[in-house]
Amino acid sequence: MERSILHMDLDTFFVSVERLMDSRLNGKPILVGGTGDRGVVSAASYEARYFGAHSGMAMRLARQLCPEAIVIRGDGGSYAKYSSLITDILKESVPVLEKASIDEFYADLSGMDKFFGCYQYATELRQKVIKESGLPISFGLSVNKTVSKVATNEAKPNNQLRIDFGCEKNFLAPLSVKKIPQVGDKMFQLLSNMGVKKVKTLQEMPVEMLEAAFGKTGILIWEKANGIDQRPVQPFHERKSISNERTFGQDTMDIEKMLGIVKAMAENLAFQLRQGEKLTSCITVKIRYSDFQTLSKQKKISFTAADHILVPAVVELFQKLYDRRLLVRLVGVRFSELTEGYYQISLFDDWDKTVGLYKAMDSVRNRFGSHLLSSAGTQHVKTIASNHNPFNGEPNFIPAHRNQ
């Protein structure tokens, strides 16, 4: 059966939410992200993009390119609320929904043409989202995820595009190879050095040549360029929290040992957050004493997945909680109220260099194991480390940069 895969993307999501809350921002160049000199742009309005500003760029450079831009730190809580609203609307309206990020969705509409046209249904669904949320949204509809995602990007801003069955290669051919998902700046430069700048050139190249140059990645890029993508739409299940607990073989009062363990737990959970492209805004620490009395303390924070924020907060909660100086049977750490986050460790703070450091650390953990890289205060704690990714079951998933 011919598939019908819908891709929907909220246009400049953070900017659109800010404008929904303050109409005075309409039509003006907007930059959302860290507001200091070391900040990173999380989202840029189309007016700011005209001057060359874009997400992932250092805020200082973006301001130089567009000095008239209004810079907003951003409100992760509001963005999460509107993302949940859109998710609820779509979940009620499509057979299978996959939430790819805080502002991006896939839906499998295959077979619905038997009852009504998929394109017409997608059009009505888009209008429903706009009406009920007030936010602009674009969509692409085709036989697979890759072509639909590219179609969405070509339809923006706030529009829609259908690619009929059999027209996938013709649609992709005249586009820049940079339009293919997973072709980042580095890969684009390598392809350009080979004289490959248009998708049509990729389509005409022998797949063996790309495999020889780039390995399995070359095969994947060739398939995407030719409109080949059999990936299914994965049903969406929102994970609300992640946690870790340690029951001691022998009850203990060794506070240094317990502190080392809760620090290691916090580091490991923060690593898992980044692997699953998640951010947390609520921390809980739990203690169970030898008499089985269980106590916990909770703290709300700004959305983050950064060790240097989460670990001190966990230590602070533990020190407030452990005040009886009795034998302890179990300690635990939980991060909850999760939302999606991308390449930035914290969406709206001024740590562009820190982001690079975490990327490097996580790359080492993915390659050699999370237990081999930890802070000085937790190096002696090895038993709780794990490479398991609780969000998708894949042990070596590395978050990809995605332009907002």
Tell me the catalytic residues.
Answer: 104
By C-alpha distance, which of 225, 217, 178 is closest to 200?
A: 225
In 156-306, which residue ranges form alpha helices assigned H by DSSP? 168-172, 185-193, 199-204, 207-214, 216-225, 255-275
Residues 177 and 180: their CA atoms lie apart, in Å, by 6
Nearest to 123 by CA among 143, 109, 144, 103: 109
Instruction: Tokens for 231, please give them.
Output: 């990936």
E strands of 30-156, at which residues? 30-33, 41-44, 70-72, 96-101, 104-108, 137-142
Query: What's the rounded Cα separation, in Å, for the pair 213 and 218?
Result: 7
**Element of type H or E holding 125:** helix 118-133
Local structure of 143: helix, strand or coil: coil
**Rounded Cα gap, residues 140 and 8, in angstroms:** 7
Write the single-letter amino acid at 47.
E
User: What are phi and psi for residue 99, nearest 5 degrees?
Assistant: -95, 105
For tokens 């929907």, the residue is 8
Q: Which of 167, 191, 194, 165 is nearest to 179 (CA)?
A: 191
Answer for the pair 90, 8: CB distance below 8 angstroms, yes or no: yes
- The gap between the terminal CA atoms of the chain, to the nearest Å, is 33
CA distances from 274 to 83, 216, 390 (A): 19, 25, 11
Of 362, 330, 315, the C-alpha closest to 252 is 330
